[in-house]
Amino acid sequence: MALKIGDKAPSFVAVDANGTSFDSKDIIGKKPVVIYFYPKDNTPGCTMQACGFRDSYEDFIDLGAEVIGVSSDTVNSHKKFTNQYKLPFILLSDSDKKLRKLFGVPDKLFGLLPGRVTYIINKKGIITMIFDSVMATKHISIALRSLKNESHEI
């Protein structure tokens, strides 16, 4: 079942691009988090999206937020992708698709492609925004706008 706005973000453990275990409890519930699910490393749309998050990363940090990308690619693929494009944020390997299922990220194109969905989780651990769109580069501006709006409500 897909998560909805207002739901508490689930806890999870995954492996990052360095092969290190990442526990969501270390970040979620302590600061705002942008978690974006994308189909595949080194594809045109996913590369544009990752580079967009990279280019705006300081803006996310200025808002107190952490950015986390998730795909089913291997740790090795993520490491190469991170190094090639100098990505400053966390990439998590979801090779068994457990995180995708946990969040309820839908597949696209008749189930042939993994979906592209961005979640904003506030510092209380509550999902405040979900953006589901194949338009890869739109996710960055939507996420920034959502975080800026939340920071004004505090």
Q: Is 51 a catalytic residue?
A: no
Catalytic residue among 28, 34, 46, 143: 46
Contacts of 5-10 spanning 24+ positions with Cβ under 8 A: 5/127, 5/128, 5/129, 5/130, 6/126, 6/127, 7/126, 7/127, 8/125, 8/126, 8/127, 9/33, 9/35, 9/119, 9/121, 9/125, 9/126, 9/127, 10/102, 10/103
Active site residues: 46
